[in-house]
Structure 1
Amino acid sequence: MQRSQQPTVSVVVPTRNEARNLQVVLPAIAAVRPAVHEIIVVDGNSVDGTIETARRVLPWVRIVEQTRKGKGNAMACGFAAATGDIIVMFDADGSADPAEIPAFVAALVGGADFAKGTRFARGGGSDDITLLRRSGNAGLNGVANMLFGTRHSDLCYGYNAFWADLLPLLELPAVDAPAPGDGSMLWGDGFEIETVLACRVAAANLRVTEVPSYERERMFGDTNLRTFADGTRVLRTLAAERRRAARKEAGASATAPRRDGAPVNGSATRGAPGRGGHLGGLANGYPVRPEVRQAPQGDTLPVPPTTAPSPSAAAAAPVGSATLPGMPAVTPRPTPRPSPRPVNRPAAANDRPATDRAAAQREAVDARYALEEEAS
């Protein structure tokens, strides 16, 4: 899939009683250059005139009313309505800086699948985070990196952007699905949406670039953030998404073909649309660590990393022939054509066993057992 070097950009702004903030936020987004393609305000039953204010301050704004409750559902409704090549997630409270949108777009045009905002890289920061929240975010971020093999620096931040063609891969709840009858929310409909996206992007082995971002204080109104309750919800989300990724890995492994036609556990991979990346978090039984690069504070990004043979190709490389007394020579396996190394996998392979050595050990063990059986 060839992606545009001059993409159109859709900015999705979820709202609930944010009329006063929109008077400032919407004109600021509209003033960004290069200009965005569209601004989509997704409203969640506001009672303060949010929709009327949005139309008054920006007549060409698109209004979408969410189908269920929760920030996650609002985001999903906005994503479904977007017509741009790139989708930018933008909070309505005035904490995000619209002037940073070009940096997110540049990260994607430069080769990333997902541009993740971070307050904890050089050039980023926050006027709104407390010491308690900073400590909690650091702990949750460490758990996420451990579970998914990532190197993110800021898990709980909602300023992100991604290519719209990745939406099917994220598997968010369908916007037309009915709400649960007990008043609860579907998984992914709530404030866990940012964590869900980060986990699924990691599990899908997409290429992530971190973009330094400065978080300002909310302009008007009160935040809905609850430090302990939301922190616990994020931790539960990490555990649930790790289990979900493991189930998908197991299902893919059960149907993955082996060289002799039988399934191979832990070797299944799926390609991301147009990217050729591995999905499921495993390749040849070893964790794949999605690359997290930090975008420079300029208008351009470094050239994406070059490619190299994939681990799966290395595992199938011939180990040479061996001859033991009383046994025919072992014919080397044919060498398959090497495939490109996933762009989101570290180039260094010193964090996993050498596949040639492991294959040679297996050959030696098989030969020894065969010799013992012949002798008996």
Structure 2
Amino acid sequence: MRRPPMRKPRPRPYPRRSAFPAVSVIVPTRNEARNLEIVLPAIAAVRPAVHEIIVVDGNSTDDSIGAARRALPWVRVITQTRKGKGNAMACGFAAATGDVIVMFDADGSADPGEIPAFVSALVAGADFAKGSRFTEGGGSDDITLLRKTGNAGLNGVANALFGTSYTDLCYGYNAFWADLLPLLELPDVNASAPAEGMLWGDGFEIETVLNCRVAAAALKITEVPSVERQRIFGETNLRTFADGTRVLRTLLAEHRRADRRKKDRAQR
């Protein structure tokens, strides 16, 4: 299927951005103690050095907080306010003090050595640097044929709905300028959790939500080649069919949201 052209970015009212931004790396974690012992020192070894590493713990029972502090004494550790990866990410975003925010999984599948490439894409003019395993220079040691096929189908839906040219919708290694946070309109980290279920954006749909919202805002998106490695310790929480269905629902819901916003602006 032929991809539609990327939507033309709208003019940005943001302040002038630094050519040498301070980088905040957000690492959501739940029972990843053994992986953090390896991942955190590797992030700290990246050059140019990152400004801060924020581990957001989701009520781990394996002493992930203690492991993080032993592995890297200067790491910032906070506890998420509700449950879900999306809430963990939002808590990390809210706590970040850097100019650039990097989303980084704790399982060891992401390569810290790629962080400078993401930052370079932003400094070169992108608002959002989207990691891709399926663009030239990317790859994966972990993805199955079924997941790869499903990802291709979801890419097609996203590109048709939002006018994007994504090659890897379902990859969570991304970076963006911190001044975009108000535009993303993620759930307030201090809001109470509902009696049942989760707030929209608090769950694993967070990455798709971000991809949809930066596209709907016509921000400049640059894909960065990335090689996904196998998780170091433990087992993945991914569920191919359930997670694929959730991503599809998210795409449709975010498209409806974008349409409502567009109509509201037209009526003002």
* TM-score, normalised via structure 2 length: 0.94
How do 1:186-205 and structure 2 match up within 5 A? 186-205=199-218
SS of the aligned residue for 2:55 comes to strand
How do 1:57-136 and structure 2 match up within 5 A? 57-136=71-150
Q: Which residue of 1 aligns with 2:233?
A: 220
SS of the aligned residue for 2:232 comes to coil
Instruction: Give how far 1:91 is off.
Output: 0.2
Q: Which residue of 1 aligns with 2:45?
A: 31
Q: Which of residues 120, 145, 149 in structure 1 aligns to 2:163?
A: 149
What's the CA shift string for 1:285-341, capped at 9, x where partnerless?
xxxxxxxxxxxxxxxxxxxxxxxxxxxxxxxxxxxxxxxxxxxxxxxxxxxxxxxxx
SS of the aligned residue for 1:12 comes to strand
Q: Which residue of 2 aligns with 1:163?
A: 177
Q: Between Structure 1 and Structure 2, which shows a larger proportion of helix residues? A: 2
Distance in 2 between the 1:169 and 1:225 partners?
Answer: 28
SS of the aligned residue for 1:217 comes to coil
Q: Which residue of 2 aligns with 1:305?
A: none
Q: Tell me the amino acid that sits aligned with residue 160 of structure 1.
A: N
SS of the aligned residue for 1:173 comes to coil
What's the CA shift string for 1:178-212, capped at 9, x where partnerless?
00012x11000000000000000000000000000
Distance in 2 between the 1:9 and 1:150 partners?
Answer: 26
How do 1:1-376 and structure 2 match up within 5 A? 1-182=15-196, 184-255=197-268
SS of the aligned residue for 1:42 comes to strand
SS of the aligned residue for 1:222 comes to coil
When the two chains are superposed, the root-mean-square deviation of aligned CA atoms in Å is 0.4
Q: Tell me the amino acid that sits aligned with residue 143 of structure 2.
A: I
Q: Which residue of 2 aligns with 1:336?
A: none
Structure 2 unaligned residues grouped into runs of 5+: 1-14
Distance in 2 between the 1:209 and 1:254 partners?
Answer: 32
Distance in 2 between the 1:70 and 1:122 partners?
Answer: 32
Structure 1 unaligned residues grouped into runs of 5+: 256-376
SS of the aligned residue for 2:135 comes to coil
Identity across the alignment (%): 78
Instruction: Give how far 1:4 is off.
Output: 0.4
Distance in 1 between the 2:235 and 2:167 partners?
Answer: 27
Distance in 2 between the 1:6 and 1:218 partners?
Answer: 31
Q: Tell me the amino acid that sits aligned with residue 94 of structure 2.
A: A
Which aligned runs of 4 or more in structure 1 are off by greater than 2 angstroms?
none
SS of the aligned residue for 1:235 comes to helix
SS of the aligned residue for 2:60 comes to coil
When Rg is computed on C-alpha atoms for both structures, the one with the higher figure is 1
Q: Which residue of 1 aligns with 2:7?
A: none
